[in-house]
Structure 1
Amino acid sequence: MHFELSEEQNAIYDLVVGFMADKWSGDNRRQGLDSYPCQIPGELLREVADLGFYGISLDENSGGGGEPLLTSALIAEAAGGGLFPSLLTTTLVAAKALDLCDADSNWLAKVISGQQTVAIAIEEPNGCWGLDSIELTPQMDGQGGYLSGSKILVSDGDFAQVFLVAALLPDGPAFIRVNANAEGVEINSMRRLDGQSIVELEMKDVRFEQDDVLGDGAILNQVYDIWTVLIAADLLGNAQSVLRMTTDYAKERQQFARPIGSFQAVAHRLADIQVDVEIGRSLLYGACLALEEESDEATALVSAAKAWMNDLGVNAAETGLQLHGGIGYTWELDIHLHLRQARSNAVTLGDSKYHRARVASHLMSPEY
């Protein structure tokens, strides 16, 4: 099977790479990432929204760009290479979730245009990952119900005006819309290793109406897989940037009157990362296509991509740091930022062990 990106997809990828280099680099990036929570200039966020990134993979009837999911993954890949904060990926996923849930069109338009930030709350403090962790069960009445419980590791909750909270309803899992300023909501801010925002969402008798219930178990699983594949794309972009930085350094750094890249001990390690990057790219793009086609193997392919990219992202950053030598450990060089982001994303939405178990479960199922 021959596969290649379309001209539009290549153009969008180049646009995002150029945007990151122009708008989110050098001192601007350092100041943003060193702040807590991570500070992104409002003007920059408006430019991201104006470029149509948030709704790029939504149907045109929903106000989107009509591009396949792979195009969103390319945006996440380019953003990961530029160390752009996770808010971009969070909003891409939130917009897709609202579209899948047939949410109010005005609400969706606000998210696509950057006027409102929606965070998705799935994991709970019970030691499980993903949809397996959902134990939050609301007390229902005729018109809605009440939520009491907590969600952890909620990405970009500090920026959110609304949360989509995954819960177990009598008919199965669903999202429940919870306003950040609702009575009974408490948001406890935390900081990831890379400095980005995660929160613990505490809810005590938070009232919701029947209209606030969105989606079902199938949609939750689809949203989780889409989010996971975009995190994997971020890791891919991160690894590519580290490989490029380290290769350039190995060509310039002299030792024993020759570039260190000419030594096999260095060249072979860089070559190994390049091979792993291309394997990861194939897994990632294949997972995107499977999700687009609603294949029965989509979830397994998503987890295969995430498990691979978890390991690659961390290994590439650690190798890059080591091959830079002593300067790699200094604060002034960006390599440590890539390592911190890779380690953070490698445990976002499931570590490698969890995703390998998902793949194994699929392979061992009677239907396979």
Structure 2
Amino acid sequence: MDFRIAPDSLELADAVRQYLAGTHGTDVLRRLDAEGNRDPAIWCGLAEMGLTGLLVPEAEGGLGRSLLDAALIARECGRACLAEPLVDTALVAVPWLLARNQTDEVAAIAGGERRFPLAHRINGWVADGTGEAIASVDPLRNLAALPATDDADPLLLDLGALMAAAQLVGLAEAMLDQAVDYAKIREQFGQPIGAFQAIKHRLADVAVALEFVRPVLWRAATAMDDGLSSASLHISHAKVAATDAAYLAAETAIQVHGAMGYTYEVDLHFWMKRAWALGGAWGSRAFHQSRVDHAVIGGAQRIGPRHTFA
């Protein structure tokens, strides 16, 4: 069994990482926060890269890629703390619409002409929707009150949770990088604080958490691609693990930065607030932990390598 991700998928994700690093840096985050958190030019750039059509079939003007590819891209969106609703529209709404045979708007999404707000009962809000505005801990998210709806579609929940988990992994990676970089330049007692064992151990804990969560995330995305009956369980596992890793990364990065880690002047707060927001989106940690517990303890999911790799 080959667990490696295809080279072309990794190359695509790397290209997106480089693009976002050059067009969506901290200067852009601060400008969006100060002047309005949406910029049409950023959305146009994402559409020109073909990212709005990543999961749209080639016959409809898209790239026809897999959910694993989408998870890799969502991870990069988290790493860049992307403000635009690319993940919700292109990576959650598109596969959901295709599964429901509601393809009328898919071509418009692929061309970057349409953004698709997602309403699900589990959230209690709609991101980038119309209606009464709701304050968010994340200044770069636009939330509106949930309309009167009984929509509790399990597929939409799974897709949303999967892509939220992918973003949380990217956010955690970015916060770890920021903490490591700061630990190399901040000096105490005549040497960088990164030389102290206590700091090394905290940073290593985050690195280990990320090593454990990545394969869980890729398995969840692949399970969805393959239509496995256990996909929802794998997605919940990924959401729990990704939330824990992101929260640990945020806590550690704040402590490495010292008291000023909490301040607006330190860029870290953008990633930290996004992690807090996504940790509770598409099902809380308790909700997803409960799904895992019921499946394992109840016997619906048999555990161990003999069953995991069947």
With normalisation by structure 2, the TM-score equals: 0.90
**Tell me, what secondary structure is at the counterpart of 2:166?**
helix
Structure 1 position 203, deviation (Å): 4.7
Alpha-carbon separation, structure 2, partners of 1:86 and 1:365? 40
**Structure 1 residues 203 and 224: CA distance shift in structure 2, 3 A:** closer
Q: Determine if contact 2:165/2:243 at 8 Å carries over to the other structure.
A: yes
**Tell me, what secondary structure is at the counterpart of 2:229?**
coil
Alpha-carbon RMSD across the aligned residues, in angstroms, is 2.0
Q: Determine if contact 1:314/1:342 at 8 Å carries over to the other structure.
A: yes
Equivalent position of 2:261 in the other structure: 328
Structure 1 position 8, deviation (Å): 1.4
**Tell me, what secondary structure is at the counterpart of 1:340?**
helix
**Structure 1 residues 338 and 364: CA distance shift in structure 2, 3 A:** same
1:100 matches 2:45: no
1:197 matches 2:166: no
Alpha-carbon separation, structure 2, partners of 1:201 and 1:363? 33
Q: Which runs of 5+ in 2 are unaligned?
A: 302-310
**Tell me, what secondary structure is at the counterpart of 2:200?**
helix
Cα-to-partner distance string for 1:277-313 (whole Å, 9 max, x where unaligned): 1111111001001111111211011001101111221
Letter in 2 for 1:57: L
Alpha-carbon separation, structure 2, partners of 1:258 and 1:202? 56
Letter in 2 for 1:96: P
Q: Which moved more, 1:358-367 or 1:5-14?
A: 358-367
Alpha-carbon separation, structure 2, partners of 1:278 and 1:366? 27
2:183 to 216, 228, 250: 250
Equivalent position of 1:225 in the other structure: 158
Q: Which moved more, 1:49-58 or 1:277-286?
A: 49-58
Structure 1 position 337, deviation (Å): 1.3
Structure 1 position 86, deviation (Å): 5.6
Structure 1 position 19, deviation (Å): 1.6
Which structure 1 residue ranges, 4+ long, deviate > 4 Å from structure 2?
none
Letter in 2 for 1:330: T
Structure 1 position 23, deviation (Å): 1.2
Alpha-carbon separation, structure 2, partners of 1:265 and 1:362? 38
Letter in 2 for 1:191: A
2:246 to 313, 336, 343: 313
**Tell me, what secondary structure is at the counterpart of 1:275?**
helix
Once the two structures are aligned, what percentage of the paired residues are identical? Answer: 30
2:172 to 227, 230, 239: 239
Alpha-carbon separation, structure 2, partners of 1:347 and 1:295? 25
1:45 to 26, 43, 46: 43
Q: Determine if contact 1:154/1:200 at 8 Å carries over to the other structure.
A: yes
**Tell me, what secondary structure is at the counterpart of 2:137?**
coil
Q: Which moved more, 1:45-54 or 1:1-10?
A: 1-10
> Across the two proteins, how many residue pairs are aligned to each other?
298
Equivalent position of 1:73 in the other structure: 71
Equivalent position of 1:265 in the other structure: 198
1:24 matches 2:24: yes
Q: Determine if contact 1:308/1:352 at 8 Å carries over to the other structure.
A: no
Alpha-carbon separation, structure 2, partners of 1:361 and 1:153? 27
Equivalent position of 1:12 in the other structure: 12
Q: Which has the larger radius of gyration?
A: 1
Q: Which runs of 5+ in 1 are unaligned?
A: 124-128, 131-151, 159-186, 205-215
Equivalent position of 1:134 in the other structure: none
1:122 to 120, 126, 135: 120
**Structure 1 residues 365 and 296: CA distance shift in structure 2, 3 A:** farther
Alpha-carbon separation, structure 2, partners of 1:255 and 1:366? 53
1:89 to 87, 90, 97: 87
**Tell me, what secondary structure is at the counterpart of 1:199?**
strand
Cα-to-partner distance string for 1:59-103 (whole Å, 9 max, x where unaligned): 323332122111111111011011102611111211222221112
Q: Determine if contact 2:118/2:126 at 8 Å carries over to the other structure.
A: yes
Cα-to-partner distance string for 1:153-195 (whole Å, 9 max, x where unaligned): 111214xxxxxxxxxxxxxxxxxxxxxxxxxxxx111121011
Letter in 1 for 2:29: R
